[in-house]
Amino acid sequence: MDIQTIVKQVMEELQKGGQIKNSPIVKEPAETKESKGRNINYEKSSQVGVEQPANREEIERVQSITPARIGIGHTGTRMKTKNYLEFRIDHAAAQDAVFKDVSEDLLKELKLPVLFSKSETMDQYLMDLDSGRQLNETSRKWAAENLPKNKQVQIIVSDGLSSTGVEANIRDLLPALVQGLTSKKITIGDPVFIKRSRVWIQDDLASIVNCDCIISLIGERPGLATAKSISAYLIYQPNEDTVEADRTVISNIHEGGVPPVEAGAHLADLIEVILKHKASGVKLAQLK
């Protein structure tokens, strides 16, 4: 069941219970032939659900600084209907983020060549981690024949575990990163999109294009707080002896965390430092 179906059910159930009657948080204009099949928007708002709280102001303060379900109250041993239904919306959004594909229109808009890992299906990607860590033979051949070699930086965009995160952030993040690197006169290979790939696939591509630093902008595993987050993994000259500690990671890039434009500028500065010290991960942290 996709998120639009869940949202529709939630709105119907809330309306039956009188919980969203005349509420400004629901944006649902009257349906017409033209609007049939449209997306339905449901904007959540934090509300104190605790009956007769000892300190309402403190609950409201905490709610304002975290997306966690705090101060929602309960009915018997269960959460209230509104909160339960919003939980279902968040769960559906998380599932959509994992299983839906990044829009082809977006990839064309950003002029990103599409490569593929060895994962042929989403089930294989989720169950066989190694299949997402290497390019398939067709993509390896294409990369060897078409991508610029010996550049300082190679950029990868990956759907990872959140296509939603990529679609929500990459329009702002990628141009900001490229602009930052260009302003520093750092040479960049052609950015690529790799479908159903994991972080370690950057090692495989780096061996083909012979770059100094490779960065993966990859969809993060979605949670019930947000399904729109991506992370950036950076590594200096990976090889067969590379371990996780060799990677530098910037996570929580999304509108409620590190804004994508700000993240792009920061990543450009970070890459400059990596190239200067010829190190990343723990080795870089020990040098700084």
The reply, when asked if residue 199 is annotated as ligand binding, is yes
Choose among 280, 229, 273, 221: nearest CA to 254: 229
272 is an annotated ligand-binding site residue? no
For CA atoms 55, 56, 62, 66, the dihedral sign is positive
Known binding site: residues?
Answer: 199, 220
Known binding site for adenosylcob(III)alamin: residues?
Answer: 199, 220
